[in-house]
Amino acid sequence: MAETFEDFDFNRQILNAIADAGYTQPTPVQQKAIPPILNGQDVMGIAQTGTGKTAAYVLPIIMRLKYAQGEHARALIIAPTRELALQIEENVKTFAANTDLRVVVVYGGLGPKTQIEQINKGVDIIVATPGRFMDIYLAGHIITKTLQVLVLDEADKMMDMGFMPQLNRILEVVPRKRQNLLFSATMSDKIHELSANFLEHPTVVEVTPQATPAASIDQRLYFVPNIKTKINLLKKLMDEEGDIKKLMVFCKTRMAAEDVFKFLSRKFGENEVKVLHANKGQNTRINSMNAFKNDEVKILVATDVASRGIDVSDISHVINFDVPIVIEDYVHRIGRTGRAYQSGVAITFCNPAELYYLRKAEKLIRQTIPVYDIPADVFIEETPYEERQDQNREIDMQKRRDDPDFKGAFHEKKTLNQKKKFEAEKAKRNPRVAAKFAVKRSSKKKKY
């Protein structure tokens, strides 16, 4: 097992770039994955985010390509989100700094003109999101016959985001003879299916037990009845936690993210907080990410679009304002902290309707998250009628999902209302029933 980067067969240009980037020892995923990748084998890596997996495939690719050659790409790296694609591009540029290798990143959200111009100038490595890659390929600007290496990074997220059709099309247009690398944080049935179609007798590299969060993350759970109380608890934790250096707050929806952002902006000032979700323009998202990365802001509020591809090593705290519905996202969210084996705190707020997803997340990580009491001086608000109804509907839906025969409280109410309407309709048509119905109604009024 290689103990330093010198133990790998890297050339001096790469070793110097690694040293310049401040890395001295390979991480476990790099120790296990780099040798078979350098050997030209197909590799399947199960490694959670923050373990150094990007460098585990980027370094051998740079070693294989060595220098700029020809006009067309020889390596293609597919990532689920533009944030992750930009992060990978940054890694490639860092480690290829002493070479003349050309890397182009392509993603949606802005016009393809500039990206096409960059590709036409000549490229060795393309980093792409699936949809934009296919758009540019179909427009005739990407030639795939020269590809030697294909990487699918965060394949589980691509499955969750419904990219399977695009991935199948990409597999149809790349050369049959190539090296394949697949990385995923979890090993689901969908990933098994994809790996069977994609990989040839792969070397499986598993760094930690599947979907287990880093041991350095201190996980905490609060059962909180409603949104207003979540805000009250958030305020208390922000006042109390003096050691919050950098915080990410994850919300389930754009609307929730905006509400939390507005609250935190009022509390800390707009210069201390940024918000990141799919409704924000591409430049705004990149600027928010860079501001957070460069310590210009302390807090980033985000939806799950930002839970992958943020490589910020010093995030001290993550707060799940909402429990994610895609349970694998729990692992990715809390993996934003405790990176590179540093310690971190991950706090989750859970209302009654979110308990179902929380239990599934605990099952996935094979851990029970320690429960903390809401501090006595946090005001617990009454759950408004509308919010309570939404929670009840969600709980009914969850029960119905697990038991198709379950009718639910809302079903019973509906049936009762239908019965009353039916009786009233019948009464209109039949005078004798009308009299009986009127007596029934007057006797009910007397009771109250």
Ranges 209-223, 231-245, 357-371: which has the least confidence: 209-223
Task: Give the sheet arrangement for strand 125-128, strand by strand.
Answer: 103-106, 125-128, 75-78, 149-152, 179-184, 43-46, 203-206
Predicted confidence (pLDDT) at residue 160 exceeds the cutoff of 90: no
Average confidence score pLDDT of the chain:
85
CA distance 54 to 176: 24
Instruction: Give the model's confidence band at 353: pLDDT under 50 very low, under 70 low, under 90 confident, else very high.
Output: very high
**Which of 70-79, 155-164, 212-221, 357-366 has the highest mean predicted lDDT (pLDDT)?**
70-79
Phi, psi of 183 (to 5 degrees): -125, 140
Checking if the pLDDT of 437 tops 60, the result is no
- Asked whether 392 and 410 are in contact (CB, 8 A), the reply is yes
* Closest to 43 in 3D by CA, of 155, 188, 183, 207: 183
- Residue of higher predicted confidence among 293 and 2: 293
How far is the C-alpha of 127 from the C-alpha of 67, rounded, in Å? 17
CA distance 157 to 171: 18
Signed CA dihedral, 404, 410, 416, 421: sign only: negative
Closest by CA position to 191, among listed 174, 217, 210 = 210
What gap in Å lies between CA 349 and CA 323, rounded to an integer? 7
Q: What confidence score (pLDDT) does residue 9 get? A: 84
pTM of the model: 0.61
pLDDT band at 296 (very low <50, low <70, confident <90, very high): confident
- pLDDT, one tens digit per residue, over 174-211 is 998 999 999 987 777 778 778 888 888 889 988 755 55
Which residue, among 217, 237, 215, 212, has the nearest Cα to 372 in the 3D structure? Answer: 237
Q: How many residues does the chain have?
A: 448
